[in-house]
Copies of this chain bind each other. A is one copy, B any other.
Amino acid sequence: MLSKNKIKLIQSLNRKKTRDELGVFLVEGNKMVEEVIRSGFQIELIACTTDFAEQHPEMNNLATELIITDNESIAKASLLQNPQDALAIVYQPNNEIPEVNLKNELCLALDFIQDPGNLGTILRIADWYGISHIICSENTVDVFNPKVVQASMGAIFRVKTTICDLTSFIKTSGEGGIPVYGTFLEGQNIYEQSLSRNGIVVLGNEGNGISDAIGRLVTQKLLIPSYSNHPNKPESLNVASAAAICCSEFRRR
Interface residues of A (CB under 8 A from B): 35, 38-39, 117, 121, 124-125, 127-130, 132, 151, 153-155, 157-158, 191, 224, 226-230, 232, 234-238, 240-245, 248-249, 251-253
Contacts and interface: CB of A to CB of B under 8 A. Distances in A.
A162 B13 CA distance: 42
A191 B253 contact: yes
B241 A125 contact: yes
Which A-B residue pairs are the 8 nearest by beta carbons?
Answer: A130-B227, A241-B244, A244-B244, A191-B252, A127-B234, A245-B248, A130-B228, A158-B230
A88 B241 CA distance: 28
Nearest to A115: B117
A121 B38 contact: no
A228 B191 contact: no
Most buried by B among A153, A227, A235: A227
A153 B228 CA distance: 15
Most buried by B among A39, A151, A153, A243: A153
B251 A227 contact: yes
Contacts of A129: 226-228
B237 A124 contact: yes
A245 B252 CA distance: 11
21 contacts: A35-B232, A121-B238, A121-B241, A124-B238, A125-B238, A125-B241, A128-B227, A128-B228, A128-B237, A129-B227, A153-B236, A153-B238, A158-B234, A191-B252, A191-B253, A238-B240, A240-B240, A242-B244, A245-B245, A248-B248, A248-B249
